[in-house]
Amino acid sequence: MSLGVYWDGAEVGQLERVEESSREYAFQYSSTPRPISLSLPLGRERFTPAESRPFFEALLPEGAVREQIASQLKLATGDSYGLLAELGRDCAGALQVMETKRMSEPPSVQWLDDHELDVTIEELPRHPLGINVEDKRLRLSLAGVQRKAVLVRGGDRRFGRPLAGMPSSHILKPELPGGDYPGIATNEYFCMLLATRCNLSCAPVELITAGGHPCLVVERFDRERIKGPDHTYHRVHQEDLCQALGLTPDFKYQQEGWSLPSYRALGDLLDRYSLSPGLDRLSCAQAALFHFLIGNADAHAKNISLLHVGDGVQLAPLYDVVSTAIYPALSTELALSIGDELDPDAITTIHWHDLAEDLGLNRSAFRHTRAQLADLVQVEAHSLRTEALAEGWHHPCIDAIADVIATRAARV
């Protein structure tokens, strides 16, 4: 059995097991004018399993979420091919991975009332991503280790489960009771709003209550709403930095002395493939500075994405932006180094100069950008905190984030 890889409903390639009993698989193009990844260029008949694995592994959940879903599907956790066969009808980006016969199944939505949405959120510990494996129509995949519901939102703002390959449009990330990170939904909402107010491109977010818990609603940047009465969505192709560099997800954090992944490697990709390399490289530097200011040490290579646009790429909006510094249990080491420094407390002016050089920016101009952004983040954080108090969504984590910003802005 082979799996078809589809883009906008057209087959662009196949995945095949190397041997019937093997977990190894290989990708080959069939007919397409555009590559699915910067690491899988056109012109090759077939890619080796080692070359194929980084892109397709990144379409699957990670960690405990993957283990739980695999167990429910009665598959080995390491059976990526089997998981893609079961979950590949709605992935990140524009691709679908499935048996050819499933392409004929008409997509649909199972709309949820408020009670059903609450139940979906409550059951996430048992059904990660909102997947109930007993429902064969419900098959979707989203990378990451966090439990979250992947849903469709209609024009009436109702949520629904995407069935039989219907494109999902929104991600719901609740703050479940007993978690190790109090205020995490409010934390991400505050940081994402703050990024937007500081003129950084960011995925749209909303904070709601579902299942009796604060719940962050994120509109997917890899989906576009199609104009019309039914409010359906079109998939937009994207890949994360690990995929673009040909790295499997377990290499998403930079280690001391490693050249991959890194901001320099991202800058090189943008120079080669971006439609607006100068703007994208500046946006990347501003994002790195913003992550530093709010204390987000988890801005790893899978949290940086490239949108495929025409014959090139462009830097995707920010997503998964959280202040990790306010949680003592989490590592403070940066996911990607500034210059060659992973310790945020050791970063000095010379490291910011190195970042500018890595991204092909003028040092003096970036010094001015740093000062402006550091001032703006402080002003907007104060304003947003005041709004949170007035509107009733304040959480003590916001005060802790503001303290981190004040300390780090002074150093920038």
Q: How many CA atoms lie within 13 A of 73 on its CB side?
A: 26
3 state SS of 108 = strand
Q: What is the CA radius of gyration of the chain?
A: 21
- Is it true that the peptide bond before 261 is cis, omega within 30 degrees of 0? yes
Tell me the one-letter amino acid at 26. Answer: A
Residue 408 — φ and ψ, nearest 5°?
-75, -35
Distance CA 88, CA 13 (A): 14
Distance CA 397, CA 389 (A): 12
Nearest to 358, CA basis, from 334, 341, 335: 341
Check the CA dihedral 274-277-282-285 and report its sign. Answer: positive
Distance CA 128, CA 224 (A): 25
Catalytically active residues, by annotation? 298
202 pairs with which residues across the strands? 318
**Cβ(260)–Cβ(245) below 8 Å:** yes
* Region for residue 265 given its phi and psi (left: phi exceeds 0; alpha: psi -120 to 50; beta: otherwise): alpha
What DSSP string runs through 183-247? THHHHHHHHHHHHHHTT--B--EEEEEETTEEEEEEE-TTEEEPSSTT--EEE--EEEHHHHHT-
Nearest to 143, CA basis, from 49, 224, 220: 220
User: Within a 10 A sphere around the Cβ of 24, how many other Cβ atoms?
Assistant: 15
The two structure tokens encoding residue 5: 């890889």
